[in-house]
Amino acid sequence: MAISSVLLVCSLLFVFCPAFAVDSKNNPADKLVAVINANRTAGKFTVLFDNPGLGCIALQYIKGYEGQCSEVGDMKKPPDSDFADKFAPNCGVLAQTLTPITGRFLGCQSKYVSPDKAFSSFIIQNSESLKILHDKNHTEVGAAVSGTDGGSPYFWCVLFSNGKRNSSFAFENGQAKSVHPGCFSGNNDECSASTRLAISGCGIWPLLAVVFFGVLYVL
């Protein structure tokens, strides 16, 4: 009896949470940037350059949370020095090309949702986040999406900067380094196969934690 209950739950989980994967044509980080730019354009704000160096740093930013959704809710964030000391080197981004972060969104949710749903349901939540989205200081953006150990919870990170498009967040050899797991924007990443944002099954994370920061971040 007990065993059949377990089997029932397992098969229900399987039915409702099919495994799927996101490939390069379907990079959710690129899609999120497209949604952000569409919203800015519709509001007559400038289109932001999708900087792969900044995108890769957004993915590193997520990794700093080690899958702990609750720490997002606690407003815990990595120290500023991590950008130059950890995130940039991990991405092969030249530390001297880092420019100030002019805004950031970080969201974490147990369930994987599409980028436009993530945007409207929890990334942009209130007038404060709209202000960050529409800030005139931004010139470029980078986004990243990552599941933990290939599963729930899913982190979404967007970083904005006011740097120049081809001199900020520059890669050592001029080419985006491949950093996985997870997906980041701007790099034609083959976010697929073993390197994809592998998503399978359902997590049991009951948490939805979203934090917004609009502060200038001096490096």
Candidate ranges 38-46, 63-71, 142-150, 201-209; the one touching ligand NAG (CB under 6 A):
38-46
135 lies in the binding site for ligand NAG (CB under 6 A): yes
- Candidates 195, 178, 200; CA nearest to 187 is 178
Residue 98 corresponds to which amino acid? L
Q: Which residues contact 111 (CB under 8 A, 6 or more apart)?
A: 152, 154, 202, 203
**Using the 8-state DSSP alphabet, how is residue 148 labeled?**
E
Candidate ranges 35-43, 88-96, 183-191, 197-205; the one touching ligand NAG (CB under 6 A):
35-43
178 lies in the binding site for ligand NAG (CB under 6 A): no
Contact pattern from residue 85 through residue 114 relative to ligand NAG, giving x for each residue in contact according to CB under 6 A and a dash for the rest: -----------------xx-----------
- Alpha-helical (H) ranges within the chain are 2-16, 28-42, 52-63, 69-73, 81-82, 88-91, 115-118, 127-133
Nearer to ligand NAG, 2 or 42 (CB): 42
- Candidates 84, 68, 85, 87; CA nearest to 76 is 68
158 lies in the binding site for ligand NAG (CB under 6 A): no
Interface with ligand NAG (CB under 6 A), residue total 12
37 lies in the binding site for ligand NAG (CB under 6 A): no
Given 48, 124, 158, 159, the residue binding ligand NAG (CB under 6 A): 124
43 lies in the binding site for ligand NAG (CB under 6 A): yes
Backbone angles phi, psi at 34, to 5 degrees: -60, -40
Task: Provide the 3-class DSSP secondary structure of residue 202.
Answer: coil
Candidate ranges 13-21, 25-33, 36-44, 104-112; the one touching ligand NAG (CB under 6 A):
36-44
Pairing mode of beta strands 151-161, 140-148: antiparallel
18 lies in the binding site for ligand NAG (CB under 6 A): no
Chain contacts with ligand NAG (rule: CB under 6 A): 39, 42-43, 102-103, 120, 124, 135, 137, 166, 214, 216
